[in-house]
Amino acid sequence: MHMEYKFGDIALNSTLKKKPEDNDRFHYIGLEHLDSGSLFVQRYGADTAPVGEKLIIKKGDVLFGKRRAYQKKVAIAPFDGIFSAHGMVLRPNETIINKNYFPFFIRSDRFLNEAIRISVGSLSPTINWRDLKELRFELPPIEEQERLATLLWAAYDLKESYKNLITATDEMVKSQFIEMFGTPLSATQKWPIVPLKKCCEINPPRPKSNLLDSAMVSFIPMQAISEEGYIIKNEHKEYREVKKGFTYFQNDDVLFAKITPCMENGKGAIAYNLCNGVGMGSTEFHVLRPIGGLSNSHWLLHLTRLPLFRQEAERHMTGTAGQRRVPANFLSEFSIGIPPIKLQNDFKDIVIQADKSKAELQQSIDNIDKVMKSLLP
């Protein structure tokens, strides 16, 4: 039988703080170190001692981002150290909630949605403990929580192993690119060096079209492009809504995010399955169109996603802080040895097979997520 409890009875909010000393920087965890969807802290530390008082944490504490809770940042402290004052350090009341079940409860939709609901402030909404502690939640008996925790951790570990396989697949594709085509900035490239504008069209003009204003086209804003190189949302809109003030592209074009921080974060993708073959999107895209028989979109995308390419693009950015952009002439004049189209097509086949494997792994992850949600309140 489920029982209802106030959150203040379920969890302790530890508010002990300290002013960091120099050595504390090695064991500092900020909100920027927490990844939404992961209970594990993968990054930590600071170049200098953090400024201002920070929360004291113990290994095993649950760290929760109370500022901008909609980002859903929840993690388990991997060591004793200090944590951002914009978070909460939560510990379970083990007479009410199982310690292994507790992290999954905190990251559950039920808890996070309620926490988001009571956040206050507009620009940087924050949760107050006085409000959070009064929220009421139903919990299963301790024995049932223990059983659920065993299932949840087994599912979570399996999900993490699939995510690691996806990462390994991405790394394999990057390595394959370098093995097949060499390093773009190397002085000793395998093929004659030409400017990129000789390999593809840069921001080609919109062709004359008989497309009706009422016709549906794909709309791809910046947020629809992932940092992993894919379009994650293909929205359809009437052409009249988007024909002005947006960037035109078509199937097989490569989209390159030109503005900071999207460019540095790796945003870019190949346009495909566009409604009526037409896409309209952010004006912060550069468009690279392959030239038939000379280049293909997969080679272009992975070239422009290489860290070396992005670093060079960053060096050539123009504009003021927050509005810096990669100029089109950087792309046009970037020197590259263009490989034979057959080799590019061989690479394309490798990428397609890798993407197929990743899609299958992602489907398994999605199925695990559904199972995990069914086990939580």
Q: Quote the tokens at residue 75.
A: 């993690």
Exposed/middle/buried for 116, CB within 10 Å: 0-12, 13-18, 19+?
middle
For residue 51, give the amino acid letter. Answer: V
Establish whether the linkage from the previous residue to 261 is cis, with ω within 30° of 0: yes
d(CA 124, CA 252): 39
135 & 8 share domain = yes
CATH code of the domain in which 127 resides: 3.90.220.20
- Pairwise CA distance, residues 106 & 195, whole Å: 53
pLDDT confidence of residue 296: 96
Domain that holds residue 63: 3-139
Same domain, 316 and 363: no
Q: Which two tokens stand for residue 264?
A: 């540095």
CA–CA gap between residue 207 and residue 205 (Å, rounded) = 6
Both 120 and 245 in one domain: the answer is no
Look at residue 187 in the predicted model and tell me its pLDDT: 65
Residues 222, 316: one domain?
yes
Domain shared by 157 and 250, yes or no:
no
pLDDT score for 271:
97
Half-sphere exposure of residue 213, counting CA atoms within 13 Å on the CB side? 3
pLDDT of amino acid 61: 98
Give 186-191's long-range contacts (Cβ < 8 A, gap of 24+): 189/336, 189/337, 190/337, 190/339, 191/337, 191/338, 191/339, 191/340
Q: Are residues 54 and 150 in the same domain?
A: no
Domain CATH code at residue 356: 1.10.287.1120
The 3-state secondary structure of the chain, one letter per residue: CCEEEEHHHHEEEECCEECCCHHHHHHEECHHHCCCCCCCCCCCCCCCCCCCCEEEECCCCEEEECECHHHCCEEECCCCEEECCCEEEEEECCCCCCCCCHHHHHCCHHHHHHHHHCCECCCCCECCHHHHCCCEEEECCHHHHHHHHHHHHHHHHHHHHHHHHHHHHHHHHHHHHHHHHCCCCCCCCCCCEEEHHHCEEECCCCCCCCCCCCCEEEEECHHHECCCCCECCCEEEEHHHHCCCCEEEECCCEEEECECCCCCCCCEEECCCCHHHEEEECCCEEEEEECCCCCCHHHHHHHHHCHHHHHHHHHCCECCCCCCECCHHHHHHCEEECCCHHHHHHHHHHHHHHHHHHHHHHHHHHHHHHHHHHCCC
Same domain, 322 and 362: no
In the chain, the number of structural domains is 3
* 12 and 132 together in one domain: yes
pTM, to two decimals: 0.81
For residues 251 and 181, state if they share a domain: no
Tens of pLDDT along the chain (377 residues) come to: 889 999 999 999 999 999 999 999 999 999 999 999 899 999 999 999 899 999 999 999 999 999 999 999 999 999 999 999 999 999 999 999 999 999 999 999 999 999 999 999 888 899 999 999 999 999 999 999 999 999 999 999 999 999 999 999 999 999 999 999 988 776 677 888 899 999 999 999 999 888 899 999 999 999 999 999 999 999 999 999 999 999 999 999 999 999 999 999 999 999 999 999 999 999 999 999 999 999 999 999 999 999 999 999 999 999 987 789 999 999 999 999 999 999 999 999 999 999 999 999 999 999 999 999 999 97
**Residues 323, 200 share a domain:** yes
Indicate whether 176 and 43 sit together in one domain.
no
pLDDT at 6: 97
119 and 160 co-located in one domain = no
